Structure 1
Amino acid sequence: MQRYEDLQPKNVFHWFKQLNDIPRGSGNEKGVSDFLVSFAKERGLEVYQDHLNNVIIKKDATKGYENSEPVILQGHMDMVCEKTDDSDHDFLKDPISMHVKDGYVYADNTTLGADDGIAVAFCLAILDSDDVAHPKLEVLVTIDEERGMDGANGVTAEHLSGTRLLNIDTETEGDFIVSCSGGANAITTFKSEKSEGLSKAIEISLSGLNGGHSGLEIQKQNKNAIKVMARLLNKVALEMDFRLQEISGGSKHNAIAKNAHAIITVDDLDKAMNILNEIGEYVRHEGRKTDPNLVLDIKETEKTEFSYSKETSQSIVKFLYLLINDVISTSQDIEGLVQTSSNVGVVEADDEQIKVTCCVRSSVESELHNMFDKIKSLAYLTHGTTVIEKEYPAWEFNTDGELAKVAPALYEEMTGKKANVTAIHAGLECGLLKGVLPDCDMISFGPDIFGAHTPLEHLGIESTQRMYDYTLKLLEKLK
């Protein structure tokens, strides 16, 4: 049976264990950040720790590379903290316990933290080595990538001069990411105007939909529960008088909504029930492949004293029904890649307002802002107000970039395997860093990591060795 301490490359797995001995969940990075600073100081390396706890470590070029442009090695120090139901692991104080099985490294009933600890281990192994040929290195290790890329968002160009950046945060060996989408949340609110409801109340619940990541899985055409609910309510609104009493749906802006709930009041109960059941049958049929477990429950319920006013009810339903939730366009550079999309992620209400959060993504900034304008215009027509929050920039595909040519070609030469030059319809730190370093050529790659963000996360041992050797050879080539 293979032992962890015997794994190769020995220096990489040594530093990975050192990192996993330090609790480093998102939002709890101070300890690991200080560890990186101490590591650098012990080796006489220049180091900078910012107010967020991002760390930059610099190492001079080796002989023959003194005149080469600097290279930035980049990854994030934080990890997602998930564990099995029977685990008593405390992510605030316990080290990650690891074991080897069938050629992979696993954690014991928790996430492993290979996303993105293995990138940091690569960097530490390179910084600790005296026999690796390389240009001047600037190792950038960010905090809080997993919760919103707050670390990358706080990086400035003040301490960075690199013109090539290698992001080691791609989880499939052989994939070379050269572009990612930008995005933002379009948040639309409606004032909560109340009035007396109609005589009968109907409760409508949607559950069992597959959902999915609103960037990586939007092209699968899985049903969005909020949009299905809007379709049901809009048909009622077209056929008869009604009032909204309650409405909610979804849980995260960046997830395709799996559930939705509404209560409406009407005077003609039978007519409303017939309309809802008819549309429900259409929806079940249309989603028989994408969402076979969809559950639609329609039943009479107790009415409360007040519902939303007729005008507010109509405004919310029309807005949700007409709001775009789909792939908007696909890339002209990379076949099959979603370029622009919109996902209605969350609907929530309180005594003062109804709030709709829409996650818009695009790898083309002009299309992203065009979508914002469409949502704002629709909100205006339906008496709502839209604000744009948490915008992050796109990393647009650079067809002339050196790394997009050199890096995949070297991988194919070293492994005999086909490199997959691609892009991702989701946010990467490269997008934010490109905004700070607009003239920096970037690429993202990494070893095989399976089951990231779950207790089943595991890291390919042979893949780690190949991709570390590859990283060393790539640095040697970037003269």
Structure 2
Amino acid sequence: MSRVLENLEPKAVFSFFEDMTQIPRCSGNEKAISDYLVEFAKKRSLEVIQDEALNVIIKKPGTKGYENAPTVILQGHMDMVCEKNKDTDHDFSTDPLKLRVVDDMLMATGTTLGADNGIAVAYALAILDSNEISHPPLEVLITTEEETGMGGANSLDPSNLKGKILINIDSEEEGTLLVSCAGGIRNIISIPIEWNDSPKDYLVYDLRVRGLKGGHSGMEINKERGNSNIILGRVLKEISTNNDIYLAAISGGAKMNAIPRESDAVLLVNSNGRAKVEEEIAEWNKIIGNELKTADPDLRIELELSNSTYEKVFSKETMKKVLTALVLIPNGVQTMSMEIEGLVQSSTNLGVLTTTEKEVSLECAIRSSVRTLKLDIVRKMEALADLIGARTSSEGDYPAWEYRKDSYIREVFVDTYKRMYGKEPIITAIHAGLECGLFDEKLDNVDMISLGPNMYDVHTPNEHVSISSTKRVWEYLLEVLKSIK
């Protein structure tokens, strides 16, 4: 069977990555990929630990001349965000990803690629598999459920690791080294639904928001891209103010930590007012299209008459509560850092909007590099919930990774970069959650840094990674390991 990536360099890295794209590994469904990693280690007679959270630790002694070098932890996560386009027929629990190469870019077809963070795992496996690469003693740590609250890192038993240097390979910009990251928390507002019988002689419409770019809710929150859930709420609020409508369902987004690209609502419209509603939707296409003409030029707000029937609709009071929440909920950049130019300090992302028989849920990712500001946003969510008679809950709280003034591994990375490229790398922080925040708490006095190749549109079906950048970062990483003695 021919392989799509067999001619790409570095061969070992892309070979292992292609293997992983054939194995289900959505967050929360990592058993198969975890077992694959354990079997990989056993075949090579390497020490391996698989814990109850399915985290995998593989240990390999230092090569000749590096036996007494400090132990290095190479770290990434095995899970991926599983998103697909509405028109893509793909079952992430069984179907392999359909890979394609376009010029210098590797991507999947209609789905996320999982380079976040499969590239890290592929790097680590290629190093472990080789007998030619010089390196210090290694502890390769591959965690689970990073994308849904860092469950694997939370469950990690630190006694299984001895290294005091950790290289996280979960960044997305070549030449930029991360030395600090934001903390975060997941917040959910749940609005109880009061159902009424559907009114007679009303027309059923499907209202859709489409064409947005979406993106990573940390890395790309500062790009002012449209949030389909927020847009849908804004439009519905205005339409409901001026027209006799009812709401039967509302939903949008797939992952808390991805800026939602698509949202849907089912409206029942008084037949006498259909022309006015259709005109207003056309006008809102122009209004929001103008606002997002640079950030999201392909935005579409679609209104289509439906043949479906609905026996129940939200009561007017429930609809008012839901739309009030959607227009008042904090979303997007909240504060900017005054210490690091251009760094988002705090943000929120209304990532998932769902309707069940009992309630409408608004699920948000809250991020901040300042713990008290993170908690302040949670309090605002709680105040909003109190205002509309809803309940709120928070979970998956993870800490920030604070900047370390003196860092041996940072010096090694900088010196190696200058030697290879004749210039210094960019040293910065990131407004996204890395597992480094948890490792900073769990692993006493660990010295950390994060890097990775150029990736684009992660957490979306347009996710792609640069092939040439993957090769350069691989060569850079090997030189760094060779320099640690």
Report the TM-score, using the length of structure 1 for normalisation. Answer: 0.78
Aligned twin of 1:192: 193
Aligned twin of 1:372: 378
Does the aligned pair in 1 maintain the 2:16–2:126 contact within 8 Å?
A: no
Does the aligned pair in 2 maintain the 1:249–1:261 contact within 8 Å?
A: yes
Q: 2:213 aligned with 1:207, yes or no? A: no
1:152-181 superposed Cα distances (whole Å, 9 cap, x missing partner) = 343220211222101223344312122333
Aligned twin of 1:246: 248
Percent identity reads 35
Q: 1:266 to 1:341 in 2, by over 3 A?
A: farther
Does the aligned pair in 2 maintain the 1:24–1:79 contact within 8 Å?
A: no
Deviation at 1:257, TM superposition (A): 4.2
Q: 2:449 aligned with 1:443, yes or no? A: yes
* CA radius of gyration, larger in: 1
Does the aligned pair in 2 maintain the 1:114–1:459 contact within 8 Å?
A: no
When structure 1 is superposed on structure 2, of 364-373 and 440-449 the one drifting more is: 440-449
Taking the aligned partners of 1:132 and 1:471, their CA distance within structure 2 comes to 11
> Which one-letter code corresponds to 1:227 in the other structure?
I
Deviation at 1:375, TM superposition (A): 0.3
Does the aligned pair in 2 maintain the 1:177–1:423 contact within 8 Å?
A: yes
Q: 1:226 to 1:262 in 2, by over 3 A?
A: farther
Aligned twin of 1:181: 182
1:41-83 superposed Cα distances (whole Å, 9 cap, x missing partner) = 2xxx543222344322334456886776432112344567899
When structure 1 is superposed on structure 2, of 221-230 and 116-125 the one drifting more is: 116-125
Q: 2:224 aligned with 1:217, yes or no? A: no
Q: 1:13 to 1:142 in 2, by over 3 A?
A: farther
Aligned twin of 2:139: 138
Deviation at 1:379, TM superposition (A): 0.5
Taking the aligned partners of 2:214 and 2:483, their CA distance within structure 1 comes to 40
- Aligned to 1:29, the other structure's residue is in SS state helix
Q: 2:265 aligned with 1:261, yes or no? A: yes
Does the aligned pair in 1 maintain the 2:228–2:253 contact within 8 Å?
A: no
> Which one-letter code corresponds to 2:267 in the other structure?
I
Deviation at 1:457, TM superposition (A): 5.1
Q: 1:46 to 1:428 in 2, by over 3 A?
A: same
1:129-157 superposed Cα distances (whole Å, 9 cap, x missing partner) = 67766554322233455666443343220
Deviation at 1:276, TM superposition (A): 6.7
Q: 2:326 aligned with 1:324, yes or no? A: no
1:291-330 superposed Cα distances (whole Å, 9 cap, x missing partner) = 3333335689899665433432332222221111120112
Aligned twin of 2:300: 295
When structure 1 is superposed on structure 2, of 48-57 and 268-277 the one drifting more is: 268-277
Q: 1:262 to 1:435 in 2, by over 3 A?
A: farther
Does the aligned pair in 1 maintain the 2:228–2:261 contact within 8 Å?
A: yes
Aligned twin of 1:460: 467
The aligned runs of 1:411-430 (5 Å cut-off) are 411-430=417-436
Taking the aligned partners of 2:336 and 2:227, their CA distance within structure 1 comes to 20
Aligned twin of 1:362: 368
Does the aligned pair in 1 maintain the 2:457–2:464 contact within 8 Å?
A: yes
Taking the aligned partners of 2:249 and 2:111, their CA distance within structure 1 comes to 36
Taking the aligned partners of 2:196 and 2:452, their CA distance within structure 1 comes to 57
When structure 1 is superposed on structure 2, of 190-199 and 311-320 the one drifting more is: 190-199
- Aligned to 2:259, the other structure's residue is in SS state coil
- Aligned to 1:332, the other structure's residue is in SS state coil
Does the aligned pair in 1 maintain the 2:67–2:136 contact within 8 Å?
A: yes
1:361-380 superposed Cα distances (whole Å, 9 cap, x missing partner) = 22332222211111011111
Does the aligned pair in 2 maintain the 1:37–1:49 contact within 8 Å?
A: no
When structure 1 is superposed on structure 2, of 63-72 and 243-252 the one drifting more is: 63-72
Does the aligned pair in 1 maintain the 2:195–2:312 contact within 8 Å?
A: yes
When structure 1 is superposed on structure 2, of 366-375 and 255-264 the one drifting more is: 255-264
- Aligned to 1:263, the other structure's residue is in SS state strand
Deviation at 1:210, TM superposition (A): 1.1
- Aligned to 1:351, the other structure's residue is in SS state coil
Aligned twin of 1:13: 11
Does the aligned pair in 2 maintain the 1:280–1:296 contact within 8 Å?
A: yes
Aligned partner (choices 454, 457, 477) of residue 471 of structure 1: 477
Does the aligned pair in 2 maintain the 1:24–1:78 contact within 8 Å?
A: no
Taking the aligned partners of 1:319 and 1:19, their CA distance within structure 2 comes to 42
Q: Which runs of 5+ in 1 are unaligned?
A: none
Aligned twin of 2:231: 228
Q: Give the RMSD, CA atoms, in angstroms.
A: 4.6
Q: 1:466 to 1:275 in 2, by over 3 A?
A: closer
The aligned runs of 1:84-163 (5 Å cut-off) are 116-124=117-125, 126-127=127-128, 135-143=136-144, 145=146, 149-163=150-164
Aligned twin of 2:319: 313
Taking the aligned partners of 1:471 and 1:293, their CA distance within structure 2 comes to 39
> Which one-letter code corresponds to 1:263 in the other structure?
L
Q: 1:201 to 1:412 in 2, by over 3 A?
A: farther
> Which one-letter code corresponds to 1:378 in the other structure?
L
1:373-431 superposed Cα distances (whole Å, 9 cap, x missing partner) = 11011111111101113333332333444434442232122222441223333333333
Taking the aligned partners of 2:280 and 2:438, their CA distance within structure 1 comes to 47
Taking the aligned partners of 2:95 and 2:312, their CA distance within structure 1 comes to 50
Does the aligned pair in 2 maintain the 1:206–1:225 contact within 8 Å?
A: no
Does the aligned pair in 2 maintain the 1:185–1:357 contact within 8 Å?
A: yes
Taking the aligned partners of 1:408 and 1:134, their CA distance within structure 2 comes to 18
Q: 1:268 to 1:320 in 2, by over 3 A?
A: farther
Q: 2:331 aligned with 1:337, yes or no? A: no
- Aligned to 2:58, the other structure's residue is in SS state strand
Taking the aligned partners of 1:460 and 1:186, their CA distance within structure 2 comes to 37
- Aligned to 1:292, the other structure's residue is in SS state coil
Taking the aligned partners of 2:365 and 2:357, their CA distance within structure 1 comes to 24
The aligned runs of 1:10-49 (5 Å cut-off) are 13-14=11-12, 17=15, 20-21=18-19, 23-26=22-25, 27=30, 28-39=32-43, 41=45, 45-49=46-50
Taking the aligned partners of 2:180 and 2:372, their CA distance within structure 1 comes to 16
